[in-house]
Structure 1
């Protein structure tokens, strides 16, 4: 029964990760699926046992009752937040606690079974715990996605959840100052990891923040600048010829859109429906751009995320034009994703984002878009000349979604982004004992900390790697730069734990 239980939960994760219509959203969900698969394989490979045998009880799944609003105790509303615990490696008296922080998607048992933090936990006899982010996965009330209820979704509330969870776990396991807490997170949870250390230094001794965009940015033009540079990088299979082909291909697409020749585009790129007006045009070119943006951001992590393969298709001998190369890349993407056509209807996209039905696995799209509208921005636009894609991808178009979905006007989004940077310190957080880890081909590194801020705020920039590469289970194919970064992180975590044992009074409690 235990084996069936594990495979059932794993299957649910896979099913939940393959739903959706937008290309960008599909790619993110596909990545969730593949990361779970990698974690599953790594878990059993590390133990050296057949995959159909479960050697011990699965991690503990539990729920903690949290205030819906930590900052107004007159509001008695609550919700149940999911967590996972793995006690396998823990040395109870002095063993540290490694906290894995959840973010824009559901968190499964593999959050405490595989990954860099799990390898470190085994080395240091740590208790492994993970906490799912409020409003994602199973950590949400039935009405949580309505316009009225979603207002309690924020990074500040999430940090308060972490503080409450810290107390809960400390009491449950009778923790003392001898049990040092270190938190881990990647992408937005990487920012939360750094911010938890920044705002609650008495609770968490140190943090590892991977690919953490700690600087909020309304108009994130640097994203596509990094994409263009990465498409030109021979280290990952890019070239100037490849980048120029992308630019030329999108110019041809824009030219057809300007002349109103949408029938050819619908046929050549297998659109599910007719392109009806400017919003559909923007949806269409955004979907095409997502293929390249995703390939760079997640290079090497999925079959579709392969800059070398994409550039080979774009620059293949015998191609009549860059436009033909763009068609070839789109066909490859559709085949890899198992798609018959591409959904380019803006109205359908809006309808999906307005949907308040809960999905307890996979990526939370409505939730994350709400957070971009009320805290972070992060809108990846293409209005600068350096952008290799269509200039139809504008800030105005993306901000309009905030108004249409959540009644948040553009000026409010701007003010929220400014407040986020003031509240957390942007890319100069002025904290201590944090490692900021980034890959230099990952577009999100442009919003992270890239230089040492002090002797204990350390920045590691990994040559040739993409988003959160260091967090995945290690593989024999990892480049030397990634292997070196893992070693640096391991040494630093070890040094912190040694220092904490010498001065347990700094651990709080």
Structure 2
């Protein structure tokens, strides 16, 4: 895999469901992140005069990586515990002294300097003279204490604490750089951080003037059946190379797998799908079928980044072999592409990994994100709905059991947490203002976002044929026309907000 320190932590989401520690999606996600990092490095190399350096008095004009000491609990000042939260500043394009501030919000993985060097928000900063900031999410990346993953400390990991971190960071930067009300703040985020961007505007409208929320699942949902509905629809979508024949072939293949499970032909399945160990026990079998479904989920969610629906459907519509044999071939193709010999379907091993409290400062925070799913969001992508094309063994009980086993959080408490999140933020009717929700229509997460204008200032943009957070990536000559047009719309909206802010400031 190489030693690249993975970036674009603000758009990783969303790891598939908690129990889907089947290795397919983990492998694919790591490869996607690596490719995004390499793409960001190439994009940033065009502006290679920026070198990271430590901040000293008077040197806040270059690319800086530093940390801010934050309270571990913003809501109990009697608790003296703190942690160091990592951030980056890129002031190269900043039109002093009144230029805007673009805040890139971190999420369920580490950030890096490339989050202020590459991406659509950086391209926009060049045009509009903005100061670029990126703040890593608490408990992810390097923004965590050595004991942060232990159970007693995870209680301080929540979206509410994360928003308070953003408010504290706003005050810190304002004081450090002597910002004024003339410096208009706009938040940017994708996936879970997209939701955070919208919620930051909702809860702290006096601090952030507007927000662009990309692929933002603002509606928490425990039993997220809509995810696999969109996957099935995307496999049928001719715009991206899908077809009804492809969708039906996938459904028939998984039906064959379920039949073999029911008739006890587990040795054949283990051999055909390159399981590292024999398949036995309901949990291991559920892990196995979940891993197979991961292939389709990941290729749809990140369509065009390392693989595509079009290539997948070529395999799944090969009429010279049965649908089951097509699935075997697709799995082989996937594993060979990831340079993996076999797949570990051990459920117990997955749980042991999630219980591991060793802090890793790079990549995705698996244990942390599962905790947030169990306490705030749910997002369990089940397959019990009659329209689901995968295995019926991917059910809610299988998903929710992980929360019990790893964190001792019962299913009714998960639902309570989901309910509170929706009440606290307003779900898909947040009643915010000056927020632009951007979604791709083949992204499975768009079904939990906002797809229609809620008001004249709470806007929605749906991009035909694009996937998860596609609008946030650096522009490319290969971008489809709808994506190009969407970025122009985003640019125009941000420019309009800045003009409005300038007018409002002038009227004071």
TM-score by length of 2: 0.94
Does residue 237 in structure 1 map to residue 241 in structure 2?
yes
Following superposition, the deviation at residue 33 of structure 1 comes to 1.6
Q: Which residue of structure 1 lines up, in the alignment, with residue 312 of structure 2?
A: 310
Q: Would you say the 8 A contact 1:22–1:349 is kept in 2? A: no
> Structure 2: how far apart are the matches of 1:491 and 1:109?
26
Does residue 496 in structure 1 map to residue 497 in structure 2?
yes
For structure 1, the residue ranges without an aligned partner over 5 or more in a row are 1-7, 48-53
> Structure 2: how far apart are the matches of 1:56 and 1:70?
34
Q: Would you say the 8 A contact 2:44–2:117 is kept in 1? A: yes
Q: Which residue of structure 1 lines up, in the alignment, with residue 16 of structure 2?
A: none
Following superposition, the deviation at residue 505 of structure 1 comes to 7.3
The match for 1:256 among 255, 260, 263 is 260
Following superposition, the deviation at residue 502 of structure 1 comes to 1.2
Following superposition, the deviation at residue 227 of structure 1 comes to 0.5
Q: Which residue of structure 2 lines up, in the alignment, with residue 35 of structure 1?
A: 36
> Structure 2: how far apart are the matches of 1:388 and 1:346?
23
The match for 2:6 among 5, 13, 37 is 13
> Structure 2: how far apart are the matches of 1:326 and 1:430?
45
Q: Would you say the 8 A contact 2:22–2:290 is kept in 1? A: no
Q: Which residue of structure 2 lines up, in the alignment, with residue 3 of structure 1?
A: none
Q: Secondary structure at the match of 2:6?
A: helix
> Structure 2: how far apart are the matches of 1:75 and 1:257?
53
The match for 2:182 among 178, 182, 189 is 178
> Structure 1: how far apart are the matches of 2:146 and 2:438?
36
> Structure 2: how far apart are the matches of 1:427 and 1:389?
27
Task: Please list, as runs of the form range in 1=range in 2, the aligned pairs for 1:1-400 lying within 5 A after superposition.
Answer: 11-13=4-6, 22-44=23-45, 46-47=46-47, 54-58=48-52, 59-303=63-307, 306-319=308-321, 321-400=322-401
Following superposition, the deviation at residue 12 of structure 1 comes to 3.4
Deviations 1:246-266 (A, max 9, x none): 001001111111111111011
Q: Would you say the 8 A contact 2:5–2:363 is kept in 1? A: no
Following superposition, the deviation at residue 35 of structure 1 comes to 1.3
> Structure 1: how far apart are the matches of 2:43 and 2:117?
9
Deviations 1:289-316 (A, max 9, x none): 000001111100123xx11111001112
> Structure 1: how far apart are the matches of 2:449 and 2:102?
22
> Structure 2: how far apart are the matches of 1:114 and 1:245?
39
Following superposition, the deviation at residue 56 of structure 1 comes to 3.2
Q: Secondary structure at the match of 1:503?
A: helix
Deviations 1:333-377 (A, max 9, x none): 101111110110101111111111111000000000000000000
Following superposition, the deviation at residue 11 of structure 1 comes to 2.7
**4+ residue segments displaced more than 4 Å:** none
Q: Which is worse superposed, 330-339 or 179-188?
A: 330-339
> Structure 1: how far apart are the matches of 2:70 and 2:278?
47
Q: Secondary structure at the match of 1:408?
A: coil
Number of residues paired by the alignment?
Answer: 486
> Structure 1: how far apart are the matches of 2:404 and 2:334?
32
> Structure 2: how far apart are the matches of 1:396 and 1:289?
17
Q: Which residue of structure 2 lines up, in the alignment, with residue 479 of structure 1?
A: 480
Following superposition, the deviation at residue 454 of structure 1 comes to 0.7
Q: Which residue of structure 1 lines up, in the alignment, with residue 417 of structure 2?
A: 416
Following superposition, the deviation at residue 416 of structure 1 comes to 0.5
Q: Which residue of structure 2 lines up, in the alignment, with residue 442 of structure 1?
A: 443
Q: Secondary structure at the match of 1:128?
A: strand
> Structure 2: how far apart are the matches of 1:24 and 1:344?
13
> Structure 2: how far apart are the matches of 1:359 and 1:78?
19
Q: Secondary structure at the match of 2:222?
A: strand
Q: Secondary structure at the match of 1:484?
A: helix
Q: Which residue of structure 1 lines up, in the alignment, with residue 466 of structure 2?
A: 465
Deviations 1:149-195 (A, max 9, x none): 11100000000000000000101100001110001000000000000
Following superposition, the deviation at residue 70 of structure 1 comes to 0.4
Q: Would you say the 8 A contact 1:98–1:184 is kept in 2? A: yes
Q: Would you say the 8 A contact 2:87–2:133 is kept in 1? A: yes
CA RMSD in angstroms, aligned pairs only? 1.6
Q: Which residue of structure 2 lines up, in the alignment, with residue 50 of structure 1?
A: none
> Structure 2: how far apart are the matches of 1:506 and 1:377?
45
Q: Which residue of structure 2 lines up, in the alignment, with residue 427 of structure 1?
A: 428
Q: Would you say the 8 A contact 1:202–1:506 is kept in 2? A: no
TM-score by length of 1: 0.93
Q: Would you say the 8 A contact 1:437–1:461 is kept in 2? A: yes
For structure 2, the residue ranges without an aligned partner over 5 or more in a row are 13-20, 53-62
Following superposition, the deviation at residue 506 of structure 1 comes to 9.4
> Structure 2: how far apart are the matches of 1:13 and 1:220?
28
Following superposition, the deviation at residue 21 of structure 1 comes to 6.7
Q: Secondary structure at the match of 1:477?
A: coil
Deviations 1:4-58 (A, max 9, x none): xxxx9x73338x99xx9722222222222221111112222x44xxxxxx42323
